Chain A
């Protein structure tokens, strides 16, 4: 069975993150990394792909040229093929524009299962899966804490504000997985070496039949007017553990009369 995974390249966790005061966009010139949340989607794709025998796992990423590193990591971990949706016209895409381009890229692949991560670490939206599903007119189940495939259906346990729902949908469908669904594997040395030989397509808006005016900044429907400071939160103290952190915490609690 063919499983498609949407993965994003986000600023590395240790990179300084900032909004460019000129463009009001996230500064993407800092080192990037494969979105951690998507490693769980990838792992799940490999698991169900393998379970179905001759499965194929295709990783799809929309992002600037340098995001190809994250796609390569997906290949190193085990994806069979990668599709990079890359085009200058896509820069500055919001949800409406991103979902339009990704949906077109997914349509071309005709997968039986489309997996998303829980959220992109740089946007915290957890919204793209439902938007893409609407464009594809496919059922969507988000926040999957577990996923089972049987009889051409996906069965998902999903946490909501009230506990756990169990939801089922026929394939093909879109599922966004929680970061607790599995323990993602690390790429092996062999995987890293082999990644270079795996097929990697780069596709443009023209290839996808997407009107460049309908994506990127012109195709986006939201905008940012200003970047400001968050409300200040009192004083905060930071310590590094040199073996006496426990003592320092106790002292702090005593000082604050919390003990």
Chain B
């Protein structure tokens, strides 16, 4: 196997998820090459080399400064063609999903996404992919090369192999249409807002709360339990609650002892941020909501009725 692992970077650091995928690839195969794309990222090459890459290729160009997908597709397509990689792996993120999908179209290459494991079976690469709200686990593969895969976020931990890699710059040529999207403002870590990562109890609210004011229900319960408040992306995007409290793929990863989900459907992207919670209680009025697939206690009912009552009961109990 000649594997290329795309290593995403953010604020001068390689992203943990990419390093995890790199470590996994190094364990699986012989010739693992990592690629960094950015502006002023050459210095990260050495650090990336510690996670099992034999070589680190660096595409360093102002056209790659903003974390936008299309210029990266141009770079990767040329690399795959010139170096003959048969496999390209990505740790899933907002950026890499678009890069991988664009590359799949460009190279007519198969893309398997949301993988939670990779193995070699009789010389064949096989991915494990949960589907249908994680109710089945598929063995998936590729009919041709190159094989592209997006690994579900948080799947593999980075492991330092102690190795060093040869770091080499590669030429960057970007297509005209790839330069048309431009970044006007770049996301930066928002520091205000409470820290939910250390909370032992989290009460989370989703769109099922109906309107922003109803977050007071969730806040009331959280207060009674001595916990913190979290939210889904749907309500954060809608401006109901601050980004700092978002749990999931593009938010925080939490693992409290108790997670109470109120009016949350339980999309995979939410699940990846909270599935390691000790006990998960879900309240949702839709008996088919995916969240029930992975709750310890699933309550089919209306949050507006149940949450205030529960808050009262908790308060009363704690007062005794």
Contact = CB atoms under 8 A, between A and B. Distances in A.
B201 to A, nearest CB: 8
A24 B141 CA distance: 12
A125 interface: yes
A230 B136 contact: yes
Contacts of B306: 241, 245-246, 249
Contact of A165 (B141, B187, B310): B187
Interface in B167-200: 175, 177-178, 180-190
Contact of B73 (A134, A170, A224): A134
A258 interface: yes
Interface of A: 13-14, 17-19, 24, 26, 94-96, 99-100, 103, 122, 124-135, 137-143, 145, 155, 158-170, 173, 178-181, 220-231, 233-241, 245-250, 252-254, 256, 258-259
Contact of A225 (B139, B268, B278): B139
A230 B137 contact: yes
Contacts of A163: 187-190, 243
B137 A159 contact: no
Nearest to B287: A240
Contacts of A167: 68, 181-184
A223 B143 contact: yes
B279 A256 contact: yes
A14 B189 CA distance: 39
23 contacts: A17-B133, A18-B132, A26-B132, A125-B113, A137-B175, A140-B70, A140-B102, A140-B181, A159-B236, A164-B185, A169-B181, A170-B180, A180-B235, A180-B237, A220-B143, A221-B109, A222-B111, A222-B142, A228-B137, A245-B310, A246-B309, A252-B297, A253-B281
Interface in B23-63: none
Given A224-B140, A237-B297, A134 B105 contact: yes
B250 interface: yes
A158 B298 CA distance: 32
Contacts of B257: 258
Given A140-B69, A239-B299, A239-B300, A132 B135 contact: no
B296 A236 contact: yes
B1 interface: no
Nearest to B281: A249
A222 B126 contact: no
Interface in B74-108: 93-95, 97-106, 108
